[in-house]
């Protein structure tokens, strides 16, 4: 009788694994994308804004590729430019920064993720600048290592936290260095509060850029 009861218990457990609990045994890759666009109003000269942007991204990424393209015209547009997303799928579809006065691109090595791609574009216009930022990466979810990954992320940080900190530090540095007024224009996913208005923490650096 005991054997019959034990067999029934084991069978029920296996059946449960085949339904909702079955996700525990299935690992998958998920693509995560971030978009942040800020409007920046400042009396600082363009070179000072570009320097502040370079300093800001360097707080978390030491090997970013930075550029200050020469403008086609000295006249500023009435409306700011906008980065254009590539057609490639997933994290590889980082945008181009055509028309930007300052650009940054990086592929940092971040724990818990693959193929991290971060792009920032600074677009001047008549009354200020727009700072367009994009980040994309893939990460493992589910499977036997789901709980160890969560524990590691809690202690060491997650790629989402790294991306958010990188973007906020960039725009915060521009605000603090140039005395700019900064407003959020677009955020995907949504951004709670206004962390770019909070003061920088002295000595804050990324643990693994």
**What are the tens digits of pLDDT across the range 36-55?**
999 999 999 999 999 999 99
pLDDT category at 3 given cuts 50, 70, 90 is very low
CA-based R_g, the chain, Å:
22
Q: How far apart are CA 209 and CA 31, in angstroms?
A: 20
What are the phi and psi torsion angles at 134 (to 5°)? -135, 145
pLDDT category at 84 given cuts 50, 70, 90 is confident
Q: How far apart are CA 194 and CA 182, in angstroms?
A: 10
Pair 187, 35: CB distance under 8 Å? yes
Q: What is the mean pLDDT of residues 72-84?
A: 79
Q: How far is CA 33 from CA 55, 135, 137, in A?
A: 24, 6, 7
Question: Is residue 34 helix, strand or coil?
Answer: strand
- Cβ neighbours around 123 below 10 Å, total: 24
Q: What is the mean pLDDT of residues 140-157?
A: 44
**What are the tens digits of pLDDT across the range 105-142?**
999 988 777 788 999 999 999 999 999 999 998 876 54
141 forms bridges with which residues in the sheet?
28
Q: What is the pLDDT of residue 17?
A: 42
What's the distance, CA 201 to chain centroid?
Answer: 19
- Cβ neighbours around 75 below 10 Å, total: 8
Q: What is the mean pLDDT of residues 64-73?
A: 84
Q: What is the pLDDT of residue 61?
A: 95
User: Positive or negative CA dihedral for 58, 71, 133, 105?
Assistant: negative
Q: How far is CA 179 from CA 5, 72, 77, 127, 196, in A?
A: 73, 27, 23, 15, 13
Q: How far apart are CA 51 and CA 65, in angstroms?
A: 14
């Amino acid at each position: 009788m005991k054997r019959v009861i034990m067999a029934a218990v084991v069978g029920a457990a296996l059946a449960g694994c085949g339904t909702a609990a079955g996700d525990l045994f299935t690992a998958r890759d998920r693509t995560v994308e971030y978009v942040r666009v800020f409007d920046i109003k400042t009396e600082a000269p363009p070179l000072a804004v570009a320097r502040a942007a370079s300093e800001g991204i360097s707080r978390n990424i030491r090997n970013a590729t930075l550029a200050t393209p020469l403008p086609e015209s000295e006249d500023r547009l009435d409306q700011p430019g906008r980065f254009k997303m590539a057609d490639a799928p997933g994290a590889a579809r980082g945008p181009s920064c055509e028309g930007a006065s300052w650009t940054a691109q990086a592929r940092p090595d971040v724990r818990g993720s693959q193929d991290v791609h971060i792009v920032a574009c600074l677009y001047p216009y008549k009354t200020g600048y727009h700072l367009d930022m994009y980040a994309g990466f893939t990460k493992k979810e589910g499977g036997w290592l789901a709980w160890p990954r969560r524990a590691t992320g809690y202690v060491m940080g997650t790629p989402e936290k790294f991306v958010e900190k990188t973007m906020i530090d960039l725009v915060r540095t521009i605000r603090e260095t140039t005395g700019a007024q900064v407003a959020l224009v677009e955020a995907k996913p949504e951004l709670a509060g206004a962390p770019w208005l909070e003061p920088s923490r002295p000595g804050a650096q990324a643990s693994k850029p």
